[in-house]
């Protein structure tokens, strides 16, 4: 079995030439790019991704043999919120009222059609070289539809309907494209029919990072991963070993040096690799030029080497 791809997922604000040096030195071969929507919405992200500077830097990574993929919580953009006034039935119901805050109504054929169309548009606008897409539902646990027709569908299966709609859209852009199903927070697929165009992306945000994934403390996440892998032929792991945003509580004022999880990274990578996953990645949000100025790069390189090996 081929060795899995390895890399970090950065915020757009972290993306810089210094990371390319770290990639070359550590041997990582995958890069995810991401935005926190409160900091920059998806439409502005697309403008950023198409700017000359960013296109050139992405190309430098790709020329160095690194796969670059965009990873976006963009359900709210795939069903533009501006439709709420005329077509509230496309949006989710919460406590008996339609709301445009997150996601959509999975029982609305119009909403599904719009998501397909917008997924096509997003794929086209992003111009990603890789055919693996990460269009995620909105970043909020429990924000799914409770309308009469949806209330019997679990959060995880509503998210699965979203991934299938995205897949149909991106396949109109490229018939070989594939979409992830993000197993994260309350989202887990159950009794769904396998879809060859979908792969699993597993993000154990509530795991205990000071213990390896094989430890008793992480049994729930480990069992969930094995359970979810039943429904998919390919799996990406999206872990949190270098996620400064998580450690700082998503508050840049709280940034301090990352804890040394080299041992955990090594043990976890070894375990994930035994499962035959396709990629092992970690968020490294807030690890940007300022971070390197403050704390240097040596430890980050050491962690990245542990991830790459």
**Distance in Å, CB of 159 to Zn ion, minimum:** 13
**Distance in Å, CB of 231 to Zn ion, minimum:** 22
**Distance in Å, CB of 193 to Zn ion, minimum:** 20
For the segment 138-197, give every residue that binds Zn ion (CB under 5 A): 145, 147, 150
- Distance of alpha carbon 175 from alpha carbon 3, whole angstroms: 26
When the beta carbons of 29 and 93 are compared against Zn ion, the nearer one is 93
Only one of the segments 100-108, 109-117, 124-132, 201-209 lies at the binding site for Zn ion (rule: CB under 5 A); that segment is 100-108
- In sequence order, which residues have a C-beta less than 8 Å from that of residue 288 and are 6 or more positions away? 10, 11, 13, 14, 16
Distances (CA, A) of 298 to 71, 252, 271, 294: 27, 21, 25, 12
For the segment 275-294, give every residue that binds Zn ion (CB under 5 A): none
Only one of the segments 9-17, 68-76, 106-114, 274-282 lies at the binding site for Zn ion (rule: CB under 5 A); that segment is 106-114
Rounded to the nearest 5°, which phi and psi values hold at 251?
-130, 110
When the beta carbons of 35 and 107 are compared against Zn ion, the nearer one is 107
- Distance of alpha carbon 150 from alpha carbon 158, whole angstroms: 8
Distances (CA, A) of 39 to 42, 146, 157: 10, 29, 29
> How is residue 81 written in tokens?
């919120």
When the beta carbons of 107 and 281 are compared against Zn ion, the nearer one is 107
Q: Which of 26, 35, 107, 163 binds Zn ion (CB under 5 A)?
A: 107
For the segment 186-245, give every residue that binds Zn ion (CB under 5 A): none
Only one of the segments 36-44, 107-115, 266-274, 294-302 lies at the binding site for Zn ion (rule: CB under 5 A); that segment is 107-115
**Distance in Å, CB of 270 to Zn ion, minimum:** 43
**Distance in Å, CB of 186 to Zn ion, minimum:** 17
Alpha-carbon dihedral 58, 12, 67, 206, rounded to 10 degrees: 170
- Distance of alpha carbon 193 from alpha carbon 170, whole angstroms: 20
When the beta carbons of 89 and 117 are compared against Zn ion, the nearer one is 89
Size of the site for Zn ion (CB under 5 A): 5
**Distance in Å, CB of 31 to Zn ion, minimum:** 36
HSE, side-chain direction, 13 A CA sphere, residue 37: 16
Q: Is position 111 an interface residue for Zn ion (rule: CB under 5 A)?
A: no
**Distance in Å, CB of 164 to Zn ion, minimum:** 16
- Distance of alpha carbon 109 from alpha carbon 87, whole angstroms: 12
- Distance of alpha carbon 82 from alpha carbon 268, whole angstroms: 43
* Binding residues for Zn ion (CB under 5 A): 105, 107, 145, 147, 150
């Amino acid at each position: 079995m081929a060795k899995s791809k390895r890399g970090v997922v950065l915020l757009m604000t972290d993306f810089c030439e210094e990371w390319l040096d770290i990639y070359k030195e550590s041997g990582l071969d995958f890069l995810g790019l991401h935005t926190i929507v409160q900091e920059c919405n998806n439409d502005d992200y697309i403008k950023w991704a198409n700017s000359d500077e960013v296109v050139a830097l992405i190309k430098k990574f790709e020329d160095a043999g690194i796969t670059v993929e965009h990873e976006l919580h963009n359900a709210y953009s795939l069903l533009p919120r501006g439709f709420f006034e005329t077509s509230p039935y496309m949006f989710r119901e919460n406590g008996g009222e339609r709301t445009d805050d997150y996601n959509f109504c999975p029982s609305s054929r119009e909403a599904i059609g719009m998501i397909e169309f917008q997924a096509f548009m997003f794929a086209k606008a992003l111009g990603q070289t890789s055919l693996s897409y990460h269009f995620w539902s909105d970043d909020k646990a429990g924000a799914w539809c409770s309308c009469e027709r949806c209330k019997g569908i679990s959060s995880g299966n509503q998210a699965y309907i979203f991934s299938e709609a995205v897949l149909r859209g991106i396949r109109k852009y490229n018939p070989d494209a594939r979409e992830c199903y993000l197993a994260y927070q309350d989202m887990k697929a159950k009794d769904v029919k396998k879809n060859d165009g979908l792969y699993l992306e597993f993000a154990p945000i509530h795991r205990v990072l000071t213990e390896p994934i094989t430890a008793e403390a992480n049994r729930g996440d480990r069992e969930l991963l094995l359970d979810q892998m039943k429904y998919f032929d390919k799996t990406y792991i999206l872990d949190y070993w270098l996620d400064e945003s998580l450690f700082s509580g998503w508050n840049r004022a709280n940034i301090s040096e990352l804890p040394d999880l080299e041992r955990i990274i090594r043990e976890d990578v070894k375990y994930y690799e035994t499962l035959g996953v396709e990629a092992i990645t970690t968020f490294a949000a807030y690890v940007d030029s300022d971070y390197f100025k403050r704390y240097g790069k040596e430890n980050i390189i050491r962690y990245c080497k542990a991830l790459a090996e």
